Amino acid sequence: MEKQKTSSRSHFALILVGFLAIAISFLAYAKNSNLIITPAAMPALQNLAVATYIVLFASFVSIGWGLYKMYKTKISSTDSTITSIIANAIHNKRSKQIFIISAIGYGLFFAFTSGTIIYKPDINATDYGFPQPPHIELSPCCDLPGYMPMIFAFFTEHIGLQIIPLNLLLLVMVSFLVGLNFALSSAVFSIAKSGGKLGAFGAVTGLFVGCPTCAGTVFTMLFGFGAGATTFTLFLTSFEAQIQTIFIAISIPILFVTPVIMAKKIKSQNESCAIDSK
């Protein structure tokens, strides 16, 4: 038991270090937002921009590995903690398939609505000052923390990528949580169908937070933000991107809380069955 606790702490440390590294890199980069940009300063900013993305992707690896090892530890555990209940509830082929499909599906939806994936058949990138595709460039300055540095990649004149660090973080994080919610909901449905007492609320709770991007998308469509895009915000204005990010960030606590609610209902169901069997 003590070995499992030590192992869990080390896995949690990997996750925590990953998030701290991302936060520090965002804040460190933001200190350069007020610099006077000169040709002499550009090489240093470019190097800092590259380092920011290296830290970001290394942090994703650290967080992902920590979550995977924690999951492997919990499915072999006999305790009744919330994390163990969640891990064991989705430890089957059907739940894993639902997790993968819903996470990837939501990730693609988020990528399109946030402008990470660019598809504009009616606009040519070259008309906005970009070189002839294929082309990739790093825009190191200047915006709010998390919105810089940006990467623009164009594969054709109509298809490309616009990568914003904060949006990339949200894409990965929220897609994972949406996948988890759907996978856990499927497990709760299975228990309910097999005669469990979880009820309709417990079975559908996770499905109500399945599209945290939708509110932001509708808001920006209704108010028409993005009409005056410039070269470095060709498909999304900075204000529109920030509004979208705010809506997604607000949904994250809900996406965290919902699996806990469902896990507690599963736990109460298991305890009820144990009492009934006696």
Give the max Cα distance, the chain. Answer: 78
| Gyration radius of the chain's alpha carbons | 22
Count the Cβ atoms, other than its own, within 10 Å of residue 37: 12
Task: Point out the least confidently predicted range of 95-104, 140-149, 214-223, 263-272.
Answer: 214-223
- Rounded to whole angstroms, the Cα distance separating 139 from 147 reads 10
- pLDDT range class, residue 184, cuts 50, 70, 90: confident
Distance CA 74, CA 250 (A): 29
Where in the chain are the domains? 2-277
Q: The dihedral of CA 36, 42, 45, 49: what is its sign?
A: positive
Residue 222: predicted pLDDT: 40
Neighbour tally for 61: CB within 10 Å: 11
pLDDT at residue number 271 = 56
- With bands split at pLDDT 50, 70 and 90, how would you rate the model's confidence at 16? very high
* pLDDT tens by residue, 202-242: 444 444 444 554 544 444 444 443 333 333 344 444 555 56
Nearest-angstrom CA–CA distance, 246 and 275: 45
What is the arithmetic mean of pLDDT over 149-154? Answer: 86
My answer on whether omega of the bond before 142 falls inside 30° of 0, hence cis, is yes
Query: Taking 90 as the threshold, does the pLDDT of residue 64 lie above it?
Result: yes
- pLDDT of 122 > 60? The answer is yes
Name the β-bridge partners of 163: 151
pTM over 0.85: no
Report yes or no: 158 and 124 within 8 Å, Cβ to Cβ: yes
